[in-house]
Every structure is written in structure tokens, then in C-alpha cells.
Amino acid sequence: MAAPLPVSPFTIQELHGKHLHFMGIGGSGITAAAQIALRAGANITACDQDLSKTTRWMEQLGVSVAQGHSANHIAGTDLLVITSAIIKLDPHHPEVMAAQNHGVPVIEWQALLGAYMDGKMGVSIAGVHGKGTVTSMLSTAIIEAGLDPSCEVGAIVPAWGSNVRFGAGNILINEADEFNYQFMYYHPRVAIFNAIEYDHPEFFSGYDDILNAFYSFTRNIDMSDRWPIPPTVVLNAGSPGCMDLADKLAGWPGRIVTFAMGQNADYTGYNLHLEGETSFHVRGPGGREMGSLSMKMPGEYNAQNALAAFAVSDLLGADNEAARRALNNFTGIRRRFQMTQAENNILIIDDYAHHPTAIRLTLEAIRARYPNRRIVAAFQPNLFSRVKKFLDPFSHAFGSADVAIIIDIMPAREIDTGLVHARDLTAATQKDETFASRSGKAYYGGSLDETRALLESLAQPGDILALLGSGTVYRVSEALLESPAFLGSKAYSAAKADEHV
């Protein structure tokens, strides 16, 4: 396993009065670390290549943000905080090199969150899919139950107006990302795994490699005697990868708890209904009937997310009625099935789905909720290596759509070497039998601006436009809602984007 960057040289308490500089402050996760440092009394400067709503939000919170990168930013700095994408793209980044040459420690932002977890009972949600939604669902449930946790999510939670919440209780709930072994910075008491399968081909060599990473994370669990709840791993029994992890944990001294939809587990969801609303019943350990959930968010995968949150809230001692009430009222987080109603009964759905499985599940959920409406899916792939490795599963992910638009690949932390092109995925999608059986039509979308123009020309009254991807595809929906054809739009979901993010 590759060694992560060093942990924070300062405790959270020692950050008071220190000067921290954050590179790439426009990222969704690093802003949470900046808020933790601000709350601790640190002086914060930051930079990003492009200014955005997120950087303006940071300025409103008191962070001095510069556009672009410069070695001069390091002057007077006690600690440089970065995102892994920066050194993946440029291992000899001048700002990082300047810090190292001047003896300034360099850490990833996750190291600050790990330091914040010290002294708290950590509850970390990991897995290839759904971790952001489960984290926010669980946080919402135990907040409603009065446990007052601190929380960190990789997206904006509308009820907080932020991606981080500071509570008075001793529980910290956080989203734990497997990429680059970043979750190894955390030592939670409870770890939840929603789904394990192969992802991040630019980093993990294969399925066994990523499974071993999750196993290493479970071996990182807090095994001390500080907490009344035993060291616990919570696994989705419906995920083959989670069950492979359970096999590797044979003989582990902690507690293993399972949940699953439609099959036997410690917490089982059954009598699932998806049309009109998403509802199901819950049976807990020992056959205990725990009532039903009736959710606003569609799809079996969101029912599974809610079951995971409900199970863990029960394990944490939260009042079940309060947790159920919170989950029933949960409307999502930014860019997770975020819905906006536009003119001509056109519904725009903005979603972070970027893995073939996540795209397929999202489109299946849309089809189940709106069986008779035309679905136009526009997908912005992320990373050339990912598209090349997953070209075949990506091509089979659009079977529930009527129209698929493949946007230019977002390079992210890679450089385009001609490995693969969005046109390759467009052609492969058009050949998919399920997609073709719907008389589906696949288009190459080109740039974001070209995709917006294409969507405007294709959109028909009553259409559902699904904007999918983990990159900047959300700018297409923003542009559509500002164009003359879509003027007069109104928020359909409480999970709409905040003004500052």
C-alpha cells in the first residue's frame, strides 16, 4: 500500500493562531477542512486556478483567496494543505516544492479531518457508491434524535448550508473516500460500507487491490476502551464486495452487523414499493419489527441508503421514531438526484453519478418513478483512464434512457494522451442492445456549451433531462435554467444548490 502524506503536525487545538494555506480551495471536500481550521482559530489563506461560487463562499467566511498558484503564497505559512489531485497532476508543483524547500509541512486536507476525529467517536461511511447520501442521511437522523453530532459530507447539505456541521456531542460522522487510501487518515469506532466494487483504475490495479484497501481501513478502526459502543463494521449484505470483506474479517475481534434490501440480514428492508413514492418496512435484529420508511427520494438504491442510515442510527442508540421521521423528510444533498422543474413540464435532474453502476441505478430510479416520460441523459465522463478501463460497462449503463449524450471527457488530474475519446463511448452506447431496443439515440455532445445547445434543440415538453457526472456538468443545468427556453424555472426539490456553492 502506498504511504499517504504525513498526518497533521498540529492537533486541532494547536491550530489556533497558525497560518494555514489551502491549495485548490474550490474543491468540495477541502472546504470542510478549511472550516474546521477557521473554527480552531487559524488564519487561513487559499488559492485556486479558477474563482467560483465556492471560492466566493470561502471569502465570505473570512478566507483570503487568490486566483492562480504561486510559490509566493508560502511566505509566512505554518502549514500547506492540498488536495491529492494537485500532486497527481504535477508531482513537482512549484507551490508544493516551495513549501518543502522552506520546511513548511505539506498535508492532504483529509489529515486535518483525521486530527479533528481524535478525541471523538468517529463514524465513517465508505464504499464506492452512496457514501455521501448515507452520511447525510445518518447525520440528519441522529441530529433529529438529539445526539448533536459533528458531521462532514462531500457535498452541500441544504439544512446546514454547508458540507460540515459542528455539534456539541462527542460523535463525528464523516464520508471516507478510498481514493489514494485517503480514508486511512481516519480511525473511526464504527465503519459503514455501502458497496464495494472495482473503481479508480488510475490508482487501483484491480478488484483485489481495492478490496485490500477497504480491509486495511477496517484494521484502522479505533479498538480502545473509550466508548460504550464496541468497534463495529456495518456491511451491505447485498453487495458481493462487502461480503468478500466479511470473509477477510473472519476472526476480527470487533462486531460485524449486516443490512440488506430483500434478503436476510441483521437489518432487513422488505415490502419495497418504488412507484409514486419509495417505501419499505424494516426488520431488525432478532426479527424485531421496526416500522416502515416512506421516502421522498426515489430508487431502490436510495432505499438501501436509508436502511443503512436507519440501522446505524439504531446501533448508536438514537430514538427510532426520530430517525424515521428524519429519513422520511430527507430531500437529498447537492447534486444527488437534485431536481428542478423548468418550463414545458421539463424536469432537470442533476446527479453526481460517475461510475457505470451508479449511472445505471440512477437512470433505473428515474424510469421507475417516471415510467412514461422520455429520459434524455447527458453524461460527462471523468478521467481518460477510467473511460478506457470501463468503456464496456459504461456503454451498458444507459439502457433506461431514451437519449444518451456523451460530453467531452473531463481530464481532472490526467493529461489527454489520445487514449480514448468521448466519441468512442458514444459509438459503444449506440450498440448496446437494451438501449437500442428502446430505439435509443446516442449523441456526441462535445463541450459543455455545445451540450447545452444540443439539449435545447432536443428537449421536448415533458422530458426529463438527467445531467450526470462528478465534474463540471452541473454548469449545463445552470446554463439551461438561465436560457430563454427554460426561463421561469422553479425549485422542485429542497436539495437545490445553495447560492454560495
Distance in angstroms (rounded) separating the CA atoms of residues 416 and 389: 15
In this prediction, residue 83 carries a pLDDT of 85
Report whether 438 contacts 430 (CB < 8 A).
no
Q: What share of the chain is helix, strand, coil (3-state, %, to 5)?
A: 35, 25, 40
Q: Which residues of 128-164 are buried (b: 16+ CB within 10 A; e: fewer)?
A: bbbbbbbbbbbbbbbbbbebebbbbbbbbbbbbebbb
**What is the dihedral sign for C-alpha 72, 75, 81, 84?**
positive
Distance in angstroms (rounded) separating the CA atoms of residues 453 and 484: 12
Distances (CA, A) of 40 to 18, 35, 305, 390: 10, 9, 32, 43
3-state secondary structure of 126: strand
What is the SS3 string spanning 159-201?
Answer: CCCEEEECCCCCEEEEECCCHHHHHHHCCCCEEEECCCCCCCC
Strand order in the sheet with 347-351: 441-446, 403-407, 375-379, 464-468, 347-351, 338-341, 490-491
Report whether 353 contacts 302 (CB < 8 A).
no
Residue whose C-alpha is closest to residue 358's, from 384, 389, 397, 403 = 397
In this prediction, residue 486 carries a pLDDT of 59
Q: Let me know how long the chain is.
A: 501
For 263, other C-beta atoms within 10 Å of its C-beta total: 11
In this prediction, residue 250 carries a pLDDT of 92
Residue whose C-alpha is closest to residue 399's, from 414, 415, 369, 377 = 377
Tens digits of residue pLDDT in 282-292: 999 999 999 99
Residue whose C-alpha is closest to residue 124's, from 261, 308, 306, 269 = 308
Distances (CA, A) of 443 to 403, 430, 464, 499: 8, 9, 16, 32
In this prediction, residue 233 carries a pLDDT of 97
Report DSSP state, residue 483. S
Q: What percent of the chain has pLDDT over 70?
A: 94
In this prediction, residue 334 carries a pLDDT of 67
Q: Which domains does the chain have, with CATH numbers?
A: 17-109 (3.40.50.720), 118-329 (3.40.1190.10), 338-491 (3.90.190.20)
3-state secondary structure of 267: strand
Max CA-CA distance within the chain?
A: 63
In this prediction, residue 268 carries a pLDDT of 97
475: Cβ contacts below 8 Å, ≥ 6 apart? 448
DSSP string covering 387-434: HHHTHHHHHTTTTT-SEEEEEPPB-TTS---SS--HHHHHHHHHT-HH
Instruction: Please compute Rg for the chain using Cα positions.
Output: 22
Pairing of strands 267-273, 278-283: antiparallel
Distance in angstroms (rounded) separating the CA atoms of residues 224 and 300: 36
Residue owning grid cell 471536500:
29
Residue owning grid cell 409514486:
276
Q: What angle do CA 361, 311, 131 make, to 5 degrees?
A: 40
Query: What phi and psi, each to the nearest 5 degrees, are found at residue 226?
Result: -80, -20
Give CA torsion, residues 93, 24, 120, 285, to 10 deg: -110
3-state secondary structure of 313: helix
Terminal-residue alpha carbon distance, the chain: 35
- The residue ranges of the chain whose pLDDT is under 50 are 1-4, 487-501
Q: Residue 281 forms beta bridges with which residues?
A: 270, 292
Question: The whole model's pTM is what?
Answer: 0.79
Report whether 180 contacts 2 (CB < 8 A).
yes
Distance in angstroms (rounded) separating the CA atoms of residues 411 and 89: 10
Distance in angstroms (rounded) separating the CA atoms of residues 160 and 266: 32
